[in-house]
Structure 1
Amino acid sequence: MKLNRNGILLLDKPKGISSNRALSLVKKIFCPKKAGHAGTLDPLATGILPILFGEATKFAEYGLNSNKRYLAEISLGTKTTTGDSEGEIIEKISFTENVDIKSVLKSFIGEQFQMPPMFSALKYNGIPLYKYAREGQEIARNSRLINIKSIKFISLNNKVLKIDVVCSKGTYIRTLAEDIGKRLGSCAHLSALRRIGIGALEIGQTITIDKLSQLADSSSSFLNDALKPIELFINHWPSVQLVKSNENNFLNGQLIKMFCPSIQDKEECLVRVYGFSNNFLGTGQIIDNKQLRPVRLISKTNFINAYYE
């Protein structure tokens, strides 16, 4: 039986399975009516993979648009067909450690254009690029503006460089690894990747598939405890609370007259919106500090402060 679950599960995705496979395994445990994930991780990668249930799927974009933090291991001196350790080695260039690696890493900080790799989930004519790549086809791609917020040196042992990266959405760490290799006068590929942060969310808040299976064997109520609130991605936003008479009007998409002295310095501000009983209703925008415009709303039928039936 499918259950009306609403909330966010922060999964620690294991190595060796795709994000869609991880979603499928979680769905078998939770049996939700609706589910999806926010932020694809390659099979090689591990770490935070948000699984969204029910109403939470409406707010996926807020997670997708957040900065990401990764721990990456880069093998210097070898280039592969895929840009990671799953591909075949196609080039070897000697790497000398007599180079200021920290200065090279620092040169990547800031906005820059990055070319998406062929081995990626980006689509061309509705087909993922990696399917073209597997057939030996090269598709013309446009570079995309990204932002490396920070990049820190951790260690360098046996030509394996470990770094800590905070970056904007759409950043491909495999491409970054290859670019780092080039700037060091060599070549490189990504040998390991772990996502440890999405916005303010941290790896310590996650749960593994094995642990979920154990909870499911104990009691379904334990599974509900693993779910985070629908508004998890935007907990850092300011919030407003409506009087009871305005709840239905807001959920019907109507403008609400209100004055918010706490955010009066911002002409147009996105906010979390709660009902009289502190139920999350959705997101809104304060206009000229006089009106609240609905932006993204939960379903009126799910206007309850719970994550399951």
Structure 2
Amino acid sequence: MPKASDRSGVLLLNKNPGLTSFESLFAVKRAFNTRKVGHTGTLDKFASGLLIVLIGKALKIAPWFSFCDKEYEAVIRFGVETATLDPEGEVVGKGPLPSREAVEKALENFRGEILQAPPLYSAIHVDGVRAHEIARSGRQVEMKKRPVTVYEIELSSWDPPLAGLKVRCSAGTYIRSLARDIALAAGSRGHLASLCRTRIGGFKLQDAANAENLNSALKPLSPTIFNALNMELFFVDISDVQNIIHGKVFSQVFGLYKKYLDLPAAGDDRQPPEGRPFIPNVSAVFYNDESYNDELAAIIECKDGKWKYNRVFAADKGCNIPD
């Protein structure tokens, strides 16, 4: 059994409202006696739901979570817009309550790829400074619009001045901005009254742990994690694992597998889970041996037509792999 401070893996955390994402990590650091902890995407302080936490060597896989789509359950309060676009900000505008028909019609403009201006109170950098720091200093700044994709958005409840939404969107989409823009398109003003994130990629809120039962919830870097990330899996013979860990050049280790690596993702009989596309040009490499079936050896990627190592992971079993 590894020491608590040596444990690594992925933790699905059910974040409570009232805590920032950073504050939510305190309980994780205490439970696992480590400071090597980070999350893959911020949830606002007033929001709740799924926060994916990476511990130890699992921090190395953080970049690939940016490919994940996300699902939310949100509630818009119409009639009042706040400076922060959430319940905690001061009122900056008021408008008439829209009809359900007006809101349904407005939603048609927010499906597919759209241009969205992030909230002024956000962690976006503007000329090297966080936007929320600029806002709190009293200065005004124009937030440049960015392309995001809303795959699905539906009205789930209607109880004026409140309206419930279910949203599936790309990473980088601000639901607070959606609330503001939908209200304006419906001839009103509005802010986000509540928000719950229910899914990130293949990771679901229903599988998340509360702060009270973290130790039993840590998931190893197994094929299951990379299936949920929609990353293709690649298995190598156990005799090659030692060479990978000891830094043998890529072509010498993977030369025998070249014909498989050169296949496009759509060229074999594997299908992406739940209709979501595989992350392009990257594979998670696992040991092709029953005793190491949960051991990640490396992540490899193809750049400019050439495959190479991106990350290499030493075996948790002390590299006790036969030469």
Instruction: Normalising by structure 2, report the TM-score.
Output: 0.82
1:97 counterpart letter in structure 2: S
CA contact (8 A) 1:37 1:50 kept: yes
What is the Cα deviation at residue 159 of structure 1?
A: 1.4
Q: SS of the residue aligned with 1:229?
A: coil
Distance between the aligned counterparts of 1:4 and 1:265, measured in 2?
37
Pair 1:226 & 2:181 matched: no
Distance between the aligned counterparts of 1:108 and 1:96, measured in 2?
17
Q: SS of the residue aligned with 1:162?
A: strand
2:218 counterpart letter in structure 1: L
Residue in structure 1 matched with residue 208 of structure 2 by the alignment: 206
CA distance 1:287–1:128, shift in 2 (3 Å)? closer
2:158 counterpart letter in structure 1: L
Pair 1:240 & 2:234 matched: yes
Residue in structure 1 matched with residue 282 of structure 2 by the alignment: 270
What is the Cα deviation at residue 254 of structure 1?
A: 2.0
Distance between the aligned counterparts of 2:165 and 2:7, measured in 1?
38
Q: SS of the residue aligned with 2:19?
A: coil
CA contact (8 A) 1:62 1:233 kept: no
CA contact (8 A) 2:97 2:160 kept: no
CA distance 1:260–1:195, shift in 2 (3 Å)? farther
Pair 1:59 & 2:61 matched: yes
Pair 1:283 & 2:282 matched: no
Number of residue pairs matched by the alignment = 292
Distance between the aligned counterparts of 1:207 and 1:79, measured in 2?
34
What is the Cα deviation at residue 47 of structure 1?
A: 0.5
What is the Cα deviation at residue 184 of structure 1?
A: 0.4
Residue in structure 2 matched with residue 215 of structure 1 by the alignment: none
Residue in structure 2 matched with residue 296 of structure 1 by the alignment: 311
What is the Cα deviation at residue 286 of structure 1?
A: 6.5
1:31-50 correspondence to structure 2 within 5 Å? 31-32=33-34, 34-50=36-52
1:155-234 correspondence to structure 2 within 5 Å? 155-212=157-214, 223=215, 225-230=216-221, 233-234=225-226
Structure 2 residue corresponding to 1:94, chosen from 63, 77, 96: 96
Which range is displaced more, 142-151 or 12-21? 142-151
2:44 counterpart letter in structure 1: D
Deviation string, structure 1 residues 182-201 (Cα, Å, up to 9, x no partner): 11011110010000000111
Distance between the aligned counterparts of 2:243 and 2:237, measured in 1?
11
CA distance 1:264–1:196, shift in 2 (3 Å)? same
Q: CA RMSD in A?
A: 2.6
What is the Cα deviation at residue 79 of structure 1?
A: 0.8
CA contact (8 A) 1:76 1:95 kept: yes
Deviation string, structure 1 residues 11-52 (Cα, Å, up to 9, x no partner): 000000101100122101211251111100110110111110
CA distance 1:272–1:71, shift in 2 (3 Å)? same
1:230 counterpart letter in structure 2: L
CA contact (8 A) 2:282 2:299 kept: yes
What is the Cα deviation at residue 261 of structure 1?
A: 5.2
Q: Which runs of 5+ in 2 are unaligned?
A: 268-279
Distance between the aligned counterparts of 2:262 and 2:231, measured in 1?
11
Q: Which runs of 5+ in 1 are unaligned?
A: 213-222
What is the Cα deviation at residue 287 of structure 1?
A: 8.8
Residue in structure 2 matched with residue 254 of structure 1 by the alignment: 250
Distance between the aligned counterparts of 1:203 and 1:153, measured in 2?
21
Residue in structure 1 matched with residue 272 of structure 2 by the alignment: none
What is the Cα deviation at residue 137 of structure 1?
A: 1.4
Distance between the aligned counterparts of 2:81 and 2:51, measured in 1?
28
Deviation string, structure 1 residues 146-205 (Cα, Å, up to 9, x no partner): 000110110110210100001111111101100000110111100100000001111111
Distance between the aligned counterparts of 1:119 and 1:288, measured in 2?
38
